[in-house]
Structures are given as structure tokens and as C-alpha cells.
Amino acid sequence: MGTATATSSDSLLKEHRLKDIIAGYGTAMVAFSAGVDSTYLLDVAFEVLKDAVLAVTADSPSLSRSSLHEAAAFCAAKGIRHAVVKTDEFERQEYLANDARRCYHCKAALMRAMDGLARATDAGRAGSALLLGAIADDLNDYRPGMAAAAEAGAHWPLAETGFTKDDVRTRARARQLASWNRPAEPCLSSRVPYGEPVTVAGLAMIEAAERVLRQAGFGHCRARLHQIGGGRGYLCRIEVPANDLGRVLAAREALLPALRQLGFLSITLDLAGLVSGGFNALLDTTAVTG
């Protein structure tokens, strides 16, 4: 009990500092994906800045349609100004090639879209601060997208105030945000191994496969997409937490036909369990960054 109370108190102090930082911006645009981090940041920013904050959601094939709908519904319920912008990363070969800097190219596309809105007086506010929901935990992982955001002059006030994932969930729950315990949901492109091309059709298969898994009761899951047969087909590699492996096997008779109907030639279950950002372990980030 003492530890939980101390943690809650520490998170509340961080929220007070966060409000002070946001107030200093005057006007702001928040990159909003409907994940727990960006939802919490937006909720606090709206409390502080009211109509001087604009939520911006990138409408890209790498964002699940369910997340897009959740983002729109959240803003509508709260009365938050919300812009959905098309980003251009799928028009750029450097993104489609899916090398180790894919996230850099993706975030650069979002920054271009947000900067364009900030300069448009009818949609954004000239001089608005560009805010991202990155947290302190993200500083310890390979995040090339943060370099692109930094180059665009963006800010990540959650990380600046030391917010961890536990802090965000604690405060999001205290603010009665429905997403407080939502599993992490990186972009759909993160399910494709580096070096294999990202395609709109492939991402649609990933989203559909994860929808099948969630409807079967696996709320925390990944459907990794792998090319097989010399690029003539796809394998679906299912990842769930280790304690759910047995349940997936028990549900195989229902899952197999549903997943094969999506076009997968082969379906496998990863016995190592779910590892968020697992493909990053394959990278030599020292070579990538410098």
C-alpha cells in the first residue's frame, strides 16, 4: 500500500510539472494516435490550453482503423479540436524499403503534416508547439523517429518530466481515461521485418489478423508478417504473452480458417511469447546511427 501511494503521489507531482510546461507553450498541437500516452498528454493539454490545443491524427495505412475511430470519438466526446491529416510516407521509397530508419521517415512525414497545419491559420495556430507522447522509457530504446521530431523542433513533455509508462497509466486511470490499461499498439508497419518491403495490402492483412485474434479473446497480441515462397505469399507469426500460448493452441480450429481466409499461406505461433519491438533486437543500432 505504501509503495502504491508513493508512486501515485510521485506521478501527481509530475503531472503538476507537466501542466506548467504545457501552459508555457501558449498554443500546441498534439500528435494523437489514441494510445494511452498520447491520450493522456492530449487530455492534460486540453485541460490547460482549452481551444488553444489541436489534436492531430495521421491517417496512414500504418494506423489501424480502430485507432483512427477511437481518436475521433475521444475528441468528439471531449470537445477537442481534431484534425485528421494524410501523411506522405507511403509515397516515399525510403519508407517503403523498410530499413532501420523507417520510423525516422514516418515521423518526418508526420512532422511535415503538423507543420503544414501550424502554418494554416484556418486549421492550426501559427507558432504552435508540436507535442509528442514519448515517455522516459522511450529514451532507452532505438527510436529514430525521435530524431526526426527533434529536427522539426517538436517537444515530448512527458519524457521531459520523467513520466514512465506506469506513471502515465496511473494518472490516466485517475483521470478516468478509458485507455489507461490499453495494451501498447505500435504502428502496423512494425510487424514487418526490417528489409522486407512495407505494402498497404500487407498492413491490411496484419490489421485483419489482429482483429481476429482480439475477437477470440487475445487483447494483447501481434500478427507478424513474413514473406515466404520468394515473396509470392505471406506467413503470419502470432505473438501473445507466454501465459496465453496454451489458449491460442486450444483455439486453433477456429483461428486457422479465419486467418487463412485473409490470404496467409502459413500460420505459426511464436513460443517465445510477445516481445514488443522485437525486430529492433536484430539491428546493429551503432552502425545505423553513426
- Which pLDDT belongs to residue 121? 52
Question: What pLDDT does 34 receive?
Answer: 96
Inside any domain, residue 265: yes
Integer distance in angstroms from the first to the last C-alpha of the chain?
46
**What per-residue confidence (pLDDT) applies to 2?**
42
DSSP secondary structure string for all residues of 161-220: TT--HHHHHHHHHHTT-GGGGPPP---GGGGSPTTSPP-HHHHHHHHHHHHHHHHTT--S
What is the span of the domain harbouring residue 277?
A: 188-281
Which CATH number covers residue 153?
3.40.50.620
151/269 same-domain check: no
Provide the pLDDT for residue 67: 96
The pLDDT of residue 264 is 97
Q: Is 104 exposed, middle or buried (0-12, 13-18, 19+ CB in 10 A)?
A: buried
- Asked if the structure places residue 288 within a domain, the reply is no
Q: The cell 524499403 sits on which residue? A: 97
Q: Which of 149, 181, 213 is the last residue of a domain?
A: 181
Amino acid at 120: A
pLDDT beneath 70: ranges in the chain: 1-6, 121-126, 277-290
Q: What are phi and psi of 268, to 5 degrees?
A: -130, 160
Q: Which pLDDT score is estimated for 119? A: 75
Q: What is the tally of structural domains in the chain?
A: 2
CA dihedral in degrees (22, 25, 27, 33; nearest 10)? -50
- Locate the DSSP E strands across the chain: 28-31, 53-59, 82-86, 129-131, 222-228, 233-239, 266-269
